Amino acid sequence: MEKTSIQLIKEAASKLRDGKLKRLAGKEITAILEGLADNLGLDGMDEAIIFTAVFDRSCSGRTSDLNDLASYFGCPQLEVMEYVPAVRTLLEKGLIVQTDMSECRIGRQNFMTTNYVIGCVLDNRKPEFRQARILEKEFDRYDLCKLVDSQIQDGNVTAEALFQFIEATERTNAGMKFIDDLTSAVQDIPSRALFYEVCHDYFASGGNGRSDLSQTLKDIYEAYGVRFREQKSLLEGSHPLVKADLVEISGDKEDIILTTAGQKLFLGEDFGIFGKQYFGLNRYSFVREVKEFVHSKEHDVNNAKAMARLAERIRMIEEANTGLGCLSKIREIIKEEDLRALFYIVCDACVDGESAGLSRELGELYPVRERNAGLKAFKDETHKLQKLDLVEMVSESGFFGEYTVIRLTDSGKELYFEEDACLFMDKVNTKEFIRAADIKEKRLFFSGQERYQLDLVGNALQEDNYRSLVDRLAAKGLSKGIAILLYGEPGTGKTESVMQWARETGRDIIHVDISAAKSMWYGESEKIVKKIFTRYKRLCKHSGIKPILLFNEADAIFSKRRDISGGRSVDQTENTIQNIILEEMEGLEGILVATTNLADNLDKAFERRFLFKIRFSRPTVEAKRNIWLDKMPVLSAEEADALASCYDFSGGEIDNIVRKATMLEVIDGTVPTASDIIRLCDEEKIGRRQSRIGF
């Protein structure tokens, strides 16, 4: 009957204990050791001898170093040194483990068998070979870095001993992907020792660790000269770890940190779930993370690789949040990572209801030269984010005067915030934005030709007709914009005609404040005019029915271009404004109406750009009669005829008289008489008396 493993170990122990390793040639001990080797899958008698001793002591709860084994066998430690290869093969098979992995000196390393192996022996089973374990825990990249750190922090371990220990540990764990990847990238052991230590500092602080450059080199090297040479090569970028893009120097050249490539090599499959988390961000926390990175020490603009690091980090944060639909659109429109970073920073400012300081943010992103180039591009309005109409530059008053900021345009808000964009849109100025539903009906009276032209335009602006007209113009390759000029004397119904068109067709009105468009600040007027058309285009895009862009008293900015040979900046600004408007009218996709009392002041270049040009004459006697009857029903037909014949009033002037008559009625409590109305008519014309009439 074959003996069990525990029986063989018991017999072998009785022969080996205090045997001085001298009685190993006999047939009996040879048969015992060979039987044990066969039962456990050992390679020869040497392994069986060492395993027996370590197992025997482990059953008593004791670990064994070489000195303990020498005492067990009753021989000098030097004789046990011959069995070190057997110790290592037992470690590789997982039949014994080293319990003090911080010890690099072979003579002081402690070993014992695991509970798993003891269980197999007691059950008379052959153990499965396992990779070396520390107290039955898998030895991984984190254990390796911790082990190296413990050696570095041990003041009794020299640099040479440290490197020997690392070489032995790497050889023992040659199957570890982390070690294989690192040795492929960095050939010399001292550089790998430094990398292990930086990795330890990184994960020991939860992914935010930074290694103090001087202190770390001091811990590794006892010789000052070596420390200084290592520090110099790290700062100059010639160090193997820097050249391999695994570490970089940051924080005013005081810290050594892992690059993203270094993190990926170290963390392997754990990359992305270790340290700072970027997954699952919403649109608000996403831009905050970008801003915090740009403003952190990690983004050192004076580092030669700063922009590459920035691009890498922006892509990482974006790729971790593919669930944000806006990001794919932004990446398609803005190819450059640094420009996307700037856009995200401005988005973050928008979340807080603020603007972003132009100089400050460019300074956080770029070195001085690139920052100045960015400032110039913004001031010249040639920056890509401006051209894409995503960001605009404005001046705001600060405690120390004017300073420049940038903020999102409405299209920038729509691109990033999508359905939430309405939360960040500027409130509409009710003086500039007139809703069709708020316009009251008003009857207007015109002569036959005027009425025909006004009705023609009104019908053309009815939505079905308008769409058909635009489609027909586009099919013929003609401009799709509808530009209308209403000109004539004051008070003849030009503005009111636009109001009634808007009411009848359901079109809102964007009323341009001419005085605001002509800013006192040189260069601001052009920007304001551009913004008028940009905003109108945006409203057209998001309106079911295109609104009307109304320029009242348009001659103020549609006037004749001036001779700039005199060098006056005002003349040059006026001409620039007109060129902007001409260009915008050429590409207009909407409805523009301009009214003026002074058609002769309009520049001829505007004339061909108006599809409709309607002249408003002073009302005929018949039209005035109808206006009087409509405004003052108390008048008889004869009285209205007399007033219309004797007074050459416009509709606006008749409105004034009606308003004053209403005031008299409210104040006196009686309906004005014919004499009262005649008196009011006489007062309407300044410096010119009318002939008195009777009824």
Which residues lie closer than 8 Å to 562 by C-beta, 6 or more apart?
A: 571, 574, 575
pLDDT of residue 20 exceeding 50: yes
The arithmetic mean of pLDDT across residues 266-271, rounded, is: 84
Question: Which band of pLDDT confidence, cut at 50, 70 and 90, is reported for residue 133?
Answer: very low
pLDDT at 562: 60
Least confident segment among 416-420, 524-528, 579-583, 642-646: 524-528
Q: Give the whole-angstrom CA distance, residue 361 versus residue 406.
A: 10
pTM for the model stands at: 0.51
Q: Which phi-psi region, left, alpha or beta, contains residue 18 (left: φ > 0; alpha: ψ -120 to 50)? A: left
Q: Give the whole-angstrom CA distance, residue 632 versus residue 329.
A: 61
Helix or strand (DSSP H, E) at 225: helix 224-236
> Among candidates 242, 252, 239, 327, which has minimal Cα distance to 290?
327
pLDDT of residue 275 exceeding 60: no
Q: Give the whole-angstrom CA distance, residue 283 versus residue 327.
A: 9
Question: To 5 degrees, how large is the angle CA 195–CA 201–CA 207?
Answer: 105
Whether residue 615 contacts residue 485, with contact meaning beta carbons closer than 8 Å, is answered with no
pLDDT of residue 429 exceeding 70: no
Distances (CA, A) of 32 to 41, 79, 123, 348, 540: 14, 22, 18, 77, 96
The arithmetic mean of pLDDT across residues 243-271, rounded, is: 85
pLDDT of residue 603 exceeding 70: yes
pLDDT at 680: 85
pLDDT at 175: 85
pLDDT of residue 135 exceeding 60: no
Q: What is the pLDDT of residues 190-234, one digit of tens each?
A: 999 999 999 999 888 776 678 999 999 999 999 999 999 999 999
CA 375 vs. chain centroid, Å, equals 20
pLDDT at 539: 79
pLDDT at 668: 80
Q: When comparing pLDDT for 597 and 81, which is higher?
A: 81
Q: Give the whole-number percent of the chain exceeding pLDDT 90.
A: 34
pLDDT of residue 410 exceeding 80: yes
Q: What are phi and psi of 641, to 5 degrees?
A: -60, -45
pLDDT at 21: 82
pLDDT of residue 269 exceeding 50: yes
pLDDT at 500: 93
Number of helices and strands in the chain (H, E): 34, 16
Instruction: Convert 633-656 to b/e letters by CB count within 10 Å (16 or more is b).
Output: eebeeebbbbbbeebebbbebbbe
pLDDT at 516: 60
Question: Which band of pLDDT confidence, cut at 50, 70 and 90, is reported for residue 689?
Answer: low
The token pair that represents 517 in the structure block: 């468009």
Neighbours of 209 (CB within 10 A): 17
pLDDT at 517: 61
The arithmetic mean of pLDDT across residues 152-158, rounded, is: 84
pLDDT at 561: 60
Most confidently modeled range among 25-39, 60-74, 541-555: 60-74
Question: Which band of pLDDT confidence, cut at 50, 70 and 90, is reported for residue 49?
Answer: very high
Whether residue 94 contacts residue 133, with contact meaning beta carbons closer than 8 Å, is answered with yes
Mean pLDDT of the chain: 84
pLDDT of residue 568 exceeding 60: no
- Which amino acid is residue 272, in one-letter code? G
pLDDT at 23: 64
Question: Which band of pLDDT confidence, cut at 50, 70 and 90, is reported for residue 265?
Answer: very high
Q: What is the pLDDT of residues 440-461, one digit of tens each?
A: 988 888 878 888 999 999 999 9
The token pair that represents 185 in the structure block: 């990238």
Question: Which band of pLDDT confidence, cut at 50, 70 and 90, is reported for residue 559?
Answer: low
pLDDT at 207: 65
Question: Which band of pLDDT confidence, cut at 50, 70 and 90, is reported for residue 570?
Answer: low
pLDDT of residue 335 exceeding 90: yes
Q: What are phi and psi of 215, to 5 degrees?
A: -70, -40
pLDDT at 1: 60
pLDDT of residue 569 exceeding 70: no
pLDDT of residue 320 exceeding 90: no
Most confidently modeled range among 362-371, 435-444, 560-569, 596-605: 362-371
